[in-house]
Chain A
Amino acid sequence: DAGVTQSPTHLIKTRGQQVTLRCSPISGHKSVSWYQQVLGQGPQFIFQYYEKEERGRGNFPDRFSARQFPNYSSELNVNALLLGDSALYLCASSFEIGKNIQYFGAGTRLSVL
């Protein structure tokens, strides 16, 4: 069975641009969460979606937005990119929302120049 897949693997953008990252959860998983991991730090929670609805949001500005589609895949959008947005963006899926194990994808490495 395929795990969580993320695309693209790497991305280079310049300040002020917009970016869209994509995530396909494990088949049968209904919840998707997004995390940002800056070099040398642990992942930080950005969003959680379940059944196409936002169920949680971390301490990130409104430049960050996301959505979940009927097939449970998800997109993370970041507008007006800043140098500080350079990070590894991780997507995780779980069967249900709540106290389940989250399974992570390999991430998208975003570099903002």
Chain B
Amino acid sequence: SQQGEEDPQALSIQEGENATMNCSYKTSINNLQWYRQNSGRGLVHLILIRSNEREKHSGRLRVTLDTSKKSSSLLITASRAADTASYFCATSQTITGANSKLTFGKGITLSVRP
């Protein structure tokens, strides 16, 4: 079952604009991670935010986490055509003890027009 639900499902913007993607989840988490996937291939890890953090930056990426609302947002500033990809949020939950698994949403398709 999908834990994270991303919004919107698809986003089309002009190069240079900012892209904001949202993710909501249902159960308590250890951390939340964002991944990028190009053309149905492997996932590339973008950024991880822990449950006790509220905001994190990495280059042109800014992620926020609101555990009270069970939601996160990913902002990509000054988008480039190369940012065109599918983006997934993934929540890390404890299975048993120290074991944990990632649960992914359905993803957001971002298209950046040159």
Contact = CB atoms under 8 A, between A and B. Distances in A.
Q: Do A and B interact? A: yes
Interface stretch (B12-20, B55-63, B70-78, B92-100): B92-100
Given A56-B95, A99-B31, A104 B101 contact: no
B42 A42 contact: no
Interface residues of A, number: 31
Interface string B13-39: 000000000000000001101010000
Nearest to A41: B106
Contacts of A43: 43, 88, 102, 104
A94 B103 CA distance: 16
A99 B54 CA distance: 17
B114 interface: no
Nearest to A103: B45
A103 B102 CA distance: 12
A33 interface: yes
With most chain B CB atoms within 10 A of its CB, the pick from A48, A88, A101 is A101
Interface string A68-111: 00000000000000000000101010000111011111110100
Interface residues of B, number: 30
Contact of A104 (B42, B50, B92, B107): B42
B45 A42 contact: no
B21 to A, nearest CB: 13
Given A107-B41, A107-B42, A45 B100 contact: no
A58 interface: yes
B106 A98 contact: no
Interface of B: 1-2, 4, 30-31, 33, 35, 40-45, 48, 50, 88, 90, 92, 95-96, 98-107
12 contacts: A33-B101, A39-B40, A42-B88, A55-B96, A59-B1, A92-B102, A97-B100, A99-B100, A101-B33, A102-B102, A106-B42, A109-B40
